[in-house]
Amino acid sequence: MVPSRLPVETGHRLLKRVCGLSARKQRALFGEPPTIDGQTLASDLHALIRLAEKIGAGSITGDRSPEAARRERRRSAALTSPTPPTPMESVEALELPGPAGPLAARHYVPRGSVAPAPLLLYLHGGGWVVGDLDTHDGVCRFLAAAACVNVLSVDYRLAPEHPFPAAVEDAWAAYAWASANATELRADPGRIAVGGDSAGANLAAVVSLLAREAGRLPAMQMLIYPIADAVGGQRSRDLFAEGFLLTKADMGRFEELYLPAGTDRADPRVSVLRATDLSRLPPAYVATAGFDPLRDEGEAYALRMREAGVPVALVRHPGLTHTFANLTAISRTSRAAMLEAAGALRMGLAR
């Protein structure tokens, strides 16, 4: 989001200063935010995007190799993460048993946590291709502190080195382990939620489908701008195809890398929206962003769950873009949205 020659600390201060200006000053510097589909982009997100345009920042993937895209994602996360990090009572590195070897994980216990505590299994976003424990460290700390829940973040295998269904297998293994080892995590086995953002929200939704069949339902789902349909056809993928942090081309590239040739894109383990039966799933909190190519499929999935009798809280943040979960340290509107998500998580896991 800022020139690579700038130190991360300098870039963080620049982004925070620009996003922290008053809406009037942001409009004076960067122009009026666009209004599309009856929604107006939040002034701080507009300032962030225009700043990125001015310094020539590209899309998430562009023409980069997967490894180069991962390096850029880690740098972007460092630029927008809280400085210093949100304090925790403890943060412990773990290794969980996975289907192809140990899975790195990180267990966050917030200050004031009382065992047995509610637990969120968090699966990071990044199109199944980028992202790791570090890119979402700030997100996990934020949710742990704001919702007063323990958080278990898992570093599932990434494509293209490990294409579908590797990430699904890892996510399910992590949930099964957490369910069986709740005591080790100082957690209440009856109050384990699954959640994530983007591709991680997709995996959390798939875990919920698999858990239903296994008779081991989580207490709730927290799905932040989930990928829900790789088959395509949603209006928002075209309406917000360019200019709002995540592009239609990014999504096409992610799906190309994640899904081997011949994969059925309607497989519910890829496209949860295409599942024939969405009944008997855990209660869900689904948050979407108004200026996000994934908006319509996430909302369609929430409404289909609701029609199937699942309790669903669906919230659209009309002025926000994809990635707002990672912007709480610099964007006031993103922080407000994530505080709402944390509140829903806290209420959903209350005794």
Fold of 86-348: Rossmann fold (3.40.50)
Sequence-separated (6 or more) residues with CB below 8 Å from residue 86: 138, 141, 142, 144, 145
Reported as a single tens digit per residue, the pLDDT across 147-180 is 999 999 999 999 999 999 999 999 999 999 999 9
Q: What is the CA radius of gyration of the chain?
A: 19
Residue 248 corresponds to which tokens in the numbers above? 């239609």
Measure CA of the first residue to CA of the last residue in the chain; give whole Å: 42
| Contact in structure between 196 and 203 (CB atoms under 8 Å) | yes
Catalytic residue among 107, 124, 136, 322: 322
Residue 146 pLDDT level (bands cut at 50, 70, 90): very high
What pLDDT is recorded for position 56?
A: 55
CB neighbours of 187 closer than 8 A, spacing ≥ 6? 115, 116, 117, 118, 119, 150, 178
Cα 171 from Cα 158, distance rounded (Å): 12
Q: What is the pLDDT of residues 279-306, one digit of tens each?
A: 999 999 999 999 999 999 999 999 999 9
Spatial neighbors of 153 by CB under 8 A, at least 6 apart, are: 105, 106, 107, 108, 122, 123, 124, 133, 136, 137, 140
Compute the average pLDDT of residues 315-327: 98
Q: Give the model's pLDDT for residue 62.
A: 58
| Residue 198 among the catalytic residues | yes
CA 172 to CA 180: how far, in whole Å?
A: 12
Q: How far apart are CA 127 and CA 227, in angstroms?
A: 8
The string of pLDDT tens digits covering residues 248-261 is 999 999 999 999 99
Residue of 76, 81, 179, 198 with catalytic role: 198
- Tell me the domain boundaries of the chain: 8-78, 86-348
- Tell me the HSE value of 63 on the side-chain side, using a 13 A CA sphere: 0
Q: How far apart are CA 237 and CA 111, in angstroms?
A: 40
Residue 5 has what pLDDT?
57
Q: What is the pLDDT of residue 289?
A: 98
Residue 302, SS3? helix
Q: How confident is the model at residue 59 (pLDDT cuts 50, 70, 90)?
A: low
The pLDDT of residue 53: 82
- Within 8 A by CB and 6+ apart from 14, the residues are 2, 6, 51
pLDDT at residue 55, as a whole number: 65
Identity of the amino acid at 190 = G
Catalytic residue from among 292, 296, 331, 334: 292
Q: What is the average pLDDT value for the chain, to the nearest integer?
A: 95
- Does residue 259 contact residue 266 with C-beta atoms inside 8 Å? no
pLDDT band at 7 (very low <50, low <70, confident <90, very high): confident
Alpha-carbon gap, residue 286 to 343, rounded angstroms:
13
